[in-house]
Every structure is written in C-alpha cells, then in structure tokens.
Amino acid sequence: MSTVTPTRSPQEDMTGAGPAAPGRVGGGLFDPKQLLASFPDALRKLDPRVMVTSPVMFVVLVGSAVTTVLALRDPGDWFGWAITAWLWLTTIFANLAEAVAEGRGKAQAATLRQAKSGATARRLDGDKEVEVPGTELRIGDLVVCEAGDIIPGDGDVAEGVASVDESAITGESAPVIRESGGDRSAVTGGTKVLSDRIVVRITTRPGETFIDRMIALVEGAARQKTPNEIALNILLASLTIVFLLAVVTLQPFAVHAGARQSMIVLTALLVCLIPTTIGALLSAIGIAGMDRLVQRNVLAMSGRAVEAAGDVSTLLLDKTGTITLGNRQAAEFLPVRGTGEAELAGAAQLSSLADETPEGRSIVVLAQERYGLRARHRDELTGAAWVAFTARTRMSGVDVDGLKARKGAAGSVMAWVRERGGAVADDAAALAARISEAGGTPLLVAVEDAEGARVLGVVHLKDVIKEGMRERFAELRRMGIRTVMITGDNPLTAKAIAQEAGVDDFLAEATPEDKMALIKREQAGGKLVAMTGDGTNDAPALAQADVGVAMNTGTSAAKEAGNMVDLDSDPTKLIEIVAIGKQLLITRGALTTFSIANDVAKYFAIIPAMFAVVYPGLDKLNVMGLASPESAILSAVIFNALIIVALVPLALRGVRYRPTGADTMLRRNLGIYGLGGLIAPFVGIKIIDLLLSLIPGLA
C-alpha cells in the first residue's frame, strides 16, 4: 500500500476543484471553444434513433417536427414559427448539454490514443527476442522492455525491476517503481520504461487494454444507464404519457366549450407540462458524475459503481497507508531493569545500520538525535556479518567483533536469547504488551557478548495517524456510513489505533478470508460495502464489494476484480469517491424536484391563457398578469428552453454536497430546489412576457 499525504476534505472537493487528469479540457458550458466543438455533436444527436432513448426529449422532437409542418402550411403565422423555433432550440439545448458533458473527456482520450499508438514489442520465443507489432501480442506472451521502450500491453512484471513513467495515464510526472512479485508488479501498455530491464507477461488481449477501456469510458461511449437512471427514465416516460393523454382529451372539452385550440398551442402545452428540464439534463448528470471521478484520476468501470458509492453504508479501510502514514517511526527506547537507555540505543542503532526500511532508518535517527550517538554507516564495520530480516526469523541484526545484536518481533527475539542460554528480563514482555495496548509496535533488542545473551529493552514503533482523519471519519458518520479498519496487527494494537483514529470498528489479524466474510455479513444485512485493495489477495474481496477500488500500483488481478481503479494509488480517495457518488444522487434528485415544481408554474401560465376568453373566471388564475394568451404561451415555451441552458452548469458541476443526515438533506433540497422550482418560473415567465409585450401586435 502506498504512502500518501492527507488529501482535502470531501466538502472542499465538492466545489469542483481538484487535480486535473491528463488532457483535461478547461472551461465550462459557456466556454465558446467548447460550445463550438460540441455543437455538431448536438445536431447529430437529433437522429430519432438516438433521441428515442430519452422518452421526454423524443416527444419534444416529435412536437418540433409537427409544429414545423404546421408552420410551413401557414407561412404567415409568426406565432407558429416562434413556437417552432423555440421547440427546436429546446431539443438542441438538451442535446448540447449531453454533448458538452461527453466532450470534456475527448482531449484526455486523444492523449491516451497517442500513448497507445505505434507500440512494438520484443517477444521472447525461447531464448530469442523477436520484434512484433503490439497488436499481435496474446495473453501469456513474455516481452522484454528496457530503458526508453514503450510497454506494448498490459501485464505483470515477471522478471526484474524498473522505473516507469506513467504520466500518460495518471498525469503525474514522477516515475514509479515496478518489480516482479509483490503488489507493485502491474504495468500498463503505453507507459514508458525509464531505467533498467524488465520482462512483462501480457495479461490482456489487443483492444481490451486498460487504455482502451479508459478511452471508451472518458468519451462516454461505454457508459450504460444505471438502475436508478433507468427507473427515473421510466417515471419520466410515465409522466409524459399521462400528460399526453391529458392534452389529447383536452381538445374535445375545448371544442365543446367553443374554444378549439390549434395543434401548435396543444403541442406547446404538452412540451411545457412534461418534465423536459430533468429529461434534458439526466444523461449529462450521469456523464458528469463519472467525469468528476476522472478529474480525480479515478476510473469507474461503470456508472453503477458510482451510484453504489453514493449509497454505501459500510466503508472498509486498510490501516497502513490509509489511516496511518504507513511508515512506523521509532518513538522511544524502553530499557529493561538493569540496562541503561544509552546501551539500548547503541545496540538498536547497530542492529539497524543495514535496515533500509523507514522503520530501521527512524531507529538510527532517534539514537543520534536523542542520545547523541554519532552517525555510523554499515561500510565502517569491516568484517561484519549482516543478518537480513525474513518472514521466518522475523528479526534482523549484525555479528561484528564478537558482538551479536538483534532486533525484531518479541517472540522471535526471546526465542533467540533462550536458544543461547540467556535470560529474558521479567519486564520485557510487560513493556512489549504496554506498547501494543497503546497502539504501537514493540521491537525487542537483544545482544550476545562475553556476558552472554540477554534482552536489553524494547523499541517503540509508533503508527502515525494522518492529520485530519478523525474529522473525516466524523463526516462519514454524519453521512450514515460505518467505518471499519482492516489490519494485520494484533487486537490490542488494532483497538488502540482504531480509538485514536475515530473509526467505528476494526478487524484485526485480517486474512483474505476474513475480509470476504466481513463483506458478506454486511451485505446480508442489506448494506452496500466499499473497500480498497492492491494485492492479489485483495481480489476476492474487491470483487465481492459493491464498490471495489483497486490501486493502479497493484496487481492485474486486483484491477480486474475492482469496479474502480485509482490511478494515483491513494487509498484515502475512497472517502472522496463516496462523496462524489452521493453528490451524483443528490444532483439528480434536486434537479428532478426542480423540474417537476417548474410544471406547476407553467400550468398557471398556459391554462388560463387558453380558456380565459370562454371562461372569464379563469382570468383569476392569471396570477402573473400576462399580457395576452399568445404572450403567455410563448413566454412559457421560451422559459422552458432557457431554464435548460441555465441549469447545465449545475448538472455538470453537481449540487454542493455536505455530510448531513438524510432527513436534513431532504428538507434542504425541498426548500431550495422544490420552492425554487415553484418561484423561478413565475419570475422568469413574467420577465419574458414583459419583453414580448414590447413587440407590436403581440400585447
């Protein structure tokens, strides 16, 4: 798991700021270049075969065509031409919203295509290297990549270690290390080897690489409607059918009352009553939600995963690199009775000179800073035999000048001392237990010299909790999300860190089977679960989780199992992903509320205008005091078109999200978007009516 610095809070990220992905397009909806580039796509989307996927806008398209035919039959009817023009603009504005949302990923796709094109490979055939086009590579092929080579396809490093430039994908210029074995073996086609030599085993077919999938996703070509989006489409289609039947049955009543309405007026009424606003923006909202993840270098394999993130109720977070900084630091030396701190510090420093881990280096630094021990280097110790740490021995050290120094896990070091006939101080185990209970990791230090083998004391390695993590977990708690820390530490250490970090629960000494069992238990209770992972052993749990975020530095198995990939390999980003998912759902709900509330005001504008002549009493419903029936109807149609344009930036940016309870959020959205949806049309239609009244012959 990579070490990362704390990122901003989800609230800060919901403002739209964030690291730019490679090839990002700047500017918003009203950027002239972006509008100009998107306009041809908006016109192409007028194809009925495309429009039929949105029932509401398909009805508007048919209405536009009908009024066009009627206007052509009566070229002198300026009212008919005005209604026709604004109905077509309504349709084009809706398509433009989707085209702008899709266009925001095209520059990134172009950058990715440049990285993808023209790659050749040196395939290993036995002991020989054969140069072949990258398109001919198959799963299982071994290819050689040296400094300056472009990696021809996705795979895992089978041999060697190399520095790799992944800026074409992640946007980060700093090179990364890829090596065989472990959780940093995955490489991506199109990235560049900067140093050394590696042998890569290809794991994907041509056309199915990570870059191919990224291109399809950022362009929107692979975006499928999510279950919530489909359900909302069904609701909108049902409302459209209801209003269509209402308008169709309105004409017989109008004829009976002696107020026959023209087909143009009935079409205008239908378009204004159906929920055109949300129908026009629904697709753009979904595309923009995935785009916000791309801005943060997260690749979502499906819109379903983004929505699921918004509904997550349990969050599984790895301790190391997510909650803690990942590199434990030496905090203090605790000698056993009869031993001085200086003697313990000297032995600890000596046994750590060859330890290049962050923990080992921190022991050397602490010994120098706290006890004034001079800086030493392993090369100074001629004839020294260095003992490397292994998973079996669980300790390391050095043999030099008749002295043997060891540091490591408490049980291993105690066993080493006893094997040499030495005595273990009575308080050694108690010191180790005290450190564990405090959330630290104890390392016992022992020596063997002329006086025999003995334990000198304990080094306290402390896990450093990332700054602001307690506050972020409190935010998640306000969102109704339960956090669970996953760690391989013993239960005492895990409990102490969980309490300090502020998580709700923890799973100690976790195995892959334990993670899977925990996820299944949560899901059995009707909860949606999210987790992060980077190793092959995380793959089963990532596949089981509703939202599985794989680190880009991880193995191919992990990336295949998850439904999101974090290109920055920042495990804390899972918190932001949840916030983005919630923002997507809130935006869709807020604009749906606004759209339906809009229809009420438009009803008060059009219905009185249609029948006020026959039924003068209906004039009381003309609360806006509109100038004339024609002005009222045209004002409503114009407002219906312009409100789509006005709301596109909000659909693309998303409604600002704040971590609050569901009840508070519902009241806030009803107050802002429900009430706002009622008031805005009254104000907007009245202003348009006042402007139209200035046109001679319309008042």
345 exposure class (CB count in 10 Å sphere: 0-12, 13-18, 19+): buried
Please report where in the chains the tokens 């079409």 appear, as a residue.
267
Find out whether 409 and 395 touch, Cβ atoms under 8 Å. yes
428 exposure class (CB count in 10 Å sphere: 0-12, 13-18, 19+): buried
Helical H segments across 197-354, by residue range: 210-219, 227-256, 263-273, 276-295, 303-310, 341-352
Find out whether 638 and 657 touch, Cβ atoms under 8 Å. no
- Residue 385 is classified by DSSP as E
Q: Which residues of 37-65 are buried (b: 16+ CB within 10 A; e: fewer)?
A: bbbebbeebeeeeebeebbbbbbbbbbbb
Nearest to 319 by CA among 160, 157, 491: 491
- Output the CA–CA distances (angstroms, integers) from residue 207 to 233, 245, 625, in the order listed: 32, 48, 62
Give the pair of three-digit tokens for residue 361.
């280096």
- Residue 469 is classified by DSSP as H
Q: Which residues of 160-185 are buried (b: 16+ CB within 10 A; e: fewer)?
A: bbbbbbbbbbbbbeebbebebeebbb
- Residue 562 is classified by DSSP as S
> Residues comprising the binding site?
355, 359, 389-396, 407, 534, 538
User: Which residues contact residue 609 at a Cβ distance below 8 angstroms, ignoring those fewer than 6 apart?
Assistant: 622, 626, 628, 629, 630, 632, 633
379 among known catalytic residues? no
CA separation for the pair 460, 331 (Å, rounded): 6
Q: How many helices (H) and strands (E) does the chain have?
A: 25, 21
- Output the CA–CA distances (angstroms, integers) from residue 590 to 43, 46, 634, 642, 676, in the order listed: 28, 27, 27, 18, 10
List the catalytic residue out of 156, 291, 318, 599: 318
Residue 119 three-state SS:
coil
Span between the terminal Cα atoms of the chain, in Å? 71
Please report where in the chains the tokens 């998580």 appear, as a residue.
503
Residue 157 three-state SS:
strand
φ/ψ (deg, to 5) at 191 = -85, 165
Give the pair of three-digit tokens for residue 440.
């630290």
Active site residues: 318
